[in-house]
Amino acid sequence: MKKQFLVTGTISLLILAIIVIHSKTRESLNDHYNDEQVISEQVPVFIPEPRLEYGIAIDSFRVEEAIVRRNQNLSHILSSYSISNQVIHQISLAPRELFNARRIRAGNTYKMFFENDTSNIPRYFVYKPDPVRYVRIDLNDTVMIERGEREVRQEFKSTYGEINSSLWNSLAAMQAPPVLALELSEIYAWSVDFFGLQKGDQFKLYYYENYIDSISVGIDRIEAAYFRHRGREIYAIPFEQDSVLTFFDQEGNSLRRAFLKAPLRYSRISSGFSHSRMHPIHRVRRPHLGVDYAAPSGTPIYAIGDGRVTQANYSGGGGNTVRIRHNSVYTTGYMHLRNFAPGIRPNVWVNQGDLIGYVGSTGTSTGPHLDFRVWKNGQPVDPLRVESPPVEPVSEENLQAFGLEKEKWMEKLDRLGIIQ
């Protein structure tokens, strides 16, 4: 009897132990499951951001890019994609400051966005007048037009080199944008003769270059520069004085020289700069790339800046004409003169304010006036919009602040490339 009791007790203990172990195992499994559930709830679900271009989720569309061809207008482009005349007419009625359909130019690019399915319906038209600006036209149920600009990223860069053949080639050899040659020629226009660069002349500069994505879209500005020309070292230190940022040399003198506001006194402007003006004699519209100053015959005309006379003769419709090359950037022209001042002939040097001739009506002219023109890097520009920054040296009260800027930039430029 005692033996039977012991066996029964032992079996009971075993059963109890199995129950306890099973209970613990279930609790452990439940805890593990709960932990997994908590962990899975804490892991965020990754949803990729849509790729946007011109504010359009481009992954949802099929995109075609093309270039505006010669003699192609907006109607030609859109009708080739089966866009109705009604929609094209709506677009043409847009305010000109928003989108002027007549100003689409050959060589510019555009993109068409289509439904990415078998319908192939065009939904958006994007016109790009330049790499930065764009016009987006929504071709859905209601035509909507929006102007915008792509995000431009700036990179601070530097380069240096020595002239072997030309500044342009030297920059290209350093894998720097050759257009920097034009920027440098503006900064040093009055200090360096860029038509007379010599082998061995040297340059250094810091500049900002603009990028859209990874594509360069041009130079923003030169920040500081150094040029050694004919053995003379000239630093270009940026400094703001009288609310104008300009470049000064290491002595605190401005690297720019001002032009006179006008080449004659006591006159009025009778016709401005225009790309389409009705010619008073020929009665057809043509560009007038200068400013006409009406003045009595014989009114004195003065050179607006220092330079060398390159032309002083009769030149057809322009009549008696004087041209002056002031530097590698600016040239000025004076037309319809009655006669030239004594001593004015090609290759003569004139100073700012020197008398060069007198108002007349020679050539194709309806009356006495001066047709005054300005060319910048060979291209005509509006004489009334030519910038003429202050040429005063750094003022005494600004000398300390300028000294800090000078020390900073000269040190940076001196460290940039050791040229023997």
The domain locations on the chain are 53-149, 151-256+390-420, 268-385
CATH 3.40.50.300 fits 53-149, yes or no: no
Question: Of 358, 333, 339, 360, nearest to 265 (Cα)?
Answer: 358
Q: pLDDT by residue (tens digit) across 297-314? A: 999 999 998 899 999 999
- 268-385 has the same fold as 53-149: no
Residue 148 pLDDT level (bands cut at 50, 70, 90): very high
Give the model's pLDDT for residue 282: 45
Average pLDDT, integer, range 165-190: 88
Q: pLDDT by residue (tens digit) across 221-269? A: 999 999 998 889 999 999 998 888 889 999 999 988 778 878 887 567 7
Average pLDDT, integer, range 74-85: 91
Average pLDDT, integer, range 156-172: 91
Residue 5 pLDDT level (bands cut at 50, 70, 90): very low
Share of the chain above pLDDT 90, in %: 46
Answer yes or no: is pLDDT of 362 > 90.
yes
| CATH match for 268-385 among 2.70.70.10, 1.20.210.10, 3.50.50.60, 3.40.50.2300 | 2.70.70.10
- Across all residues in the chain, what is the average pLDDT? 84
Length of the chain: 420
Answer yes or no: is pLDDT of 334 > 50.
yes
Residue 418 pLDDT level (bands cut at 50, 70, 90): low
The strands making up 122-128's β-sheet, listed across from edge to edge, are 61-67, 109-115, 122-128, 133-138, 144-149
Give the model's pLDDT for residue 45: 62
| CATH match for 151-256+390-420 among 2.30.30.60, 3.10.450.350, 3.30.450.20, 3.40.50.10190 | 3.10.450.350
Which residues are within 8 A (CB) of 377 and not within 5 positions of it... i.e. 6 or more apart? 182, 185, 329
